[in-house]
A and B are shown apart, each in its own frame.
Chain A
């Protein structure tokens, strides 16, 4: 290529070549900033509201209640769980109270077992607040059921 046909370079007043905007780099940096901000916001929200994984999977419900027998007396030592969350299991206290945490929200099947026999109750577990159920009346099993 001859000198005459070579491309011209326009210089800035201070003698340096003009800066060219690198749009690809700008978009990339912007994307990183946006992702960082969103991640920070999600984590702050999850930190405030509870476990992030549980929140994302919808298993952030809490169930509290009391198990009583047919006479209305507290039933201690009953095993309480949800059919959909067997890993969250509780044993009722001497006053019959129990709490299940990190359980799925929505319509659920509560299992209460005593003396080797389980009974089921349909409940609705609320999101964002502890769901109060009960008193759960556990009917004494006929002897033949045991």
Chain B
């Protein structure tokens, strides 16, 4: 080996060094993105949307909040309950006392919430909307196994943290309804004073809140999840504005 070739080898990088360098840059990039509250998927989707393409892995137009829990509990404000966890890529809560968690982003006035949810045990789960404060003022749609027999789908209103008597008629579930261990696709439309909920494509509850002063009407707020007296899992939470 000549002296020149030695010098060349000392000054150059091996494939291993290049790989390590690229790995470090990758890790640094991920770290910076996480500091900015972004994931690689977010970046991918922004690029895909930016160049006008579509991908099943990315939210569509009008989506203001999208959560598949790939980043753990980031983006969620755990309000009550100590047993929230990520399980098989889903957000699960309970069993135990009431569990509540709110999406950090996505608050607004009129929106559509969609999610996949599975009740594992207990009385049911609920989806908060237009919710404010920890001692909540707002509304829930409830997949309510515990509401009579055989359970019901119902909108409820919360004032000063109190779950109020139903302000609108509710719909009993059909006899023999399979409440547990079935992943249901829930969609809740919140438009002005009118609220509509569907489960697996079927409209199961509608409500109109005609409250007039001094009865409160809530026109804005966060989206959240609740579980009471049991266990449930959630996935693919999406908030879309008209």
Chain A residues close to B by CB (< 8 Å): 79, 81, 83-84, 86, 89, 106-109, 111, 113, 116-120, 122, 141-146
**Interface of B, helix, strand, loop or mixed by DSSP:** loop
Given contacts A120-B164, A120-B215, 19 further A-B contacts (CB under 8 A): A86-B135, A86-B137, A86-B160, A86-B161, A106-B214, A107-B214, A108-B214, A109-B159, A109-B214, A109-B215, A111-B164, A118-B162, A118-B164, A119-B165, A120-B159, A142-B148, A143-B148, A144-B152, A145-B165
* Count of inter-chain pairs, beta carbons less than 8 A: 58
What is the total number of residues of chain B having a CB less than 8 Å from a CB of chain A? 19
**Interface of A, helix, strand, loop or mixed by DSSP:** strand
CA distance in complex: A86, B64 (Å): 31
Q: Which of B160, B165, B216 contacts A141 (CB 8 A)?
A: B165
Whether the pair B147, A145 counts as a contact (CB closer than 8 A) is: yes
CB neighbours (8 Å) of B216 from chain A are 83-84, 109
CA distance in complex: A79, B163 (Å): 12
Chain B residues close to A by CB (< 8 Å): 135, 137, 146-149, 152, 159-166, 213-216
Instruction: Name which residue of chain B comes closest to A119, CB basis.
Output: B165
Q: Which of B146, B149, B160, B166 contacts A111 (CB 8 A)?
A: B160
